[in-house]
């Protein structure tokens, strides 16, 4: 009778592992769904050493063991969400905005109420909608879809955080300069300008929106406020030019 070497036993163990994996794969693929769940739960119970707990001690032990698994899953999912956010930022750095949107949308599966993720989606979608040179084959319908996505993403960011200034400002710029919706810009920019001590950027947007809606006096007042409060000579000069343009349009 020949002696089995350590190598022989190692090969046999490897074969057993492979056969076990094949059996598990077949069970998952070919068992009905209800039997799949029962089978997988049995495997999990065997792994954790938990089977039909009955006493208080057994139940407490089972809860403790499963809680550890739950905590591990939550930790991994949290990290996965963060990785998707980082990946989205990397795609943005590479100007791969479609890929960035996909990554941020995956991140929302883990952080569904994160205003910053919605803001980044809005930025990417707006860039895609306006990039006629980078995407010359994009249809008008596709461009409009990206504009719509950008608006909805910015709006959701503001809903989650009404004080999210960057999202309010970005949405207002989109309304005024791209979508010809100045009244919508006024509705969200006026409250923001009222809160800020020196709302210079907001006032430029409001001045343009007031002009577009025929509210010339309000537009002039917005530019006057910039002229009085801005420490930037360039901003004051821009405000002076805009004010003169509005005054000419008003006819005085």
Q: Does pTM top 0.85 for this prediction? A: no
Cβ(216)–Cβ(251) below 8 Å = no
- Over residues 170-211, the pLDDT tens digits come to 999 999 999 999 999 999 999 999 998 889 999 999 999 999
- Over residues 137-175, the pLDDT tens digits come to 888 899 999 999 999 999 999 999 999 999 999 999 999
Spatial CA neighbour of 104 closest among 36, 153, 152, 53: 153
Distance CA 122, CA 116 (A): 10
Q: Which residues of the chain have pLDDT under 50?
A: 1, 6-7, 9, 18, 21-22, 24, 28-35, 39, 43, 46
């Amino acid at each position: 009778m020949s002696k089995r070497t350590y190598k022989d036993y190692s090969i046999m163990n490897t074969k057993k592992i492979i056969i076990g994996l094949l059996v598990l794969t077949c069970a998952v693929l070919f068992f009905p769904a209800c039997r799949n769940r029962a089978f997988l739960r049995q495997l999990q119970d065997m792994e954790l050493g938990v089977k039909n707990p009955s006493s208080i001690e057994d139940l407490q032990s089972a809860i403790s063991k499963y809680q550890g698994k739950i905590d591990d899953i939550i930790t991994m999912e949290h990290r996965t969400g963060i990785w998707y956010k980082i990946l989205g930022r990397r795609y943005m750095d590479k100007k791969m905005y479609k890929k960035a949107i996909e990554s941020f949308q995956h991140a929302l599966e883990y952080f569904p109420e994160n205003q910053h993720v919605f803001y980044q989606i809005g930025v990417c979608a707006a860039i895609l909608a306006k990039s006629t040179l980078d995407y010359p084959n994009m249809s008008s319908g596709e461009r409009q879809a990206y504009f719509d996505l950008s608006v909805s993403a910015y709006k959701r960011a503001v809903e989650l955080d009404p004080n999210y200034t960057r999202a309010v400002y970005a949405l207002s710029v989109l309304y005024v300069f791209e979508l010809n919706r100045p009244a919508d810009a006024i509705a969200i920019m006026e409250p923001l300008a009222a809160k800020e001590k020196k709302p210079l950027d907001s006032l430029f947007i409001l001045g343009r929106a007031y002009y577009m809606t025929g509210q010339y006096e309000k537009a002039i007042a917005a530019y006057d406020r910039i002229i009085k409060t801005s420490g930037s000579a360039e901003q004051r000069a821009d405000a002076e030019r805009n004010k003169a343009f509005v005054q000419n349009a008003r006819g005085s």
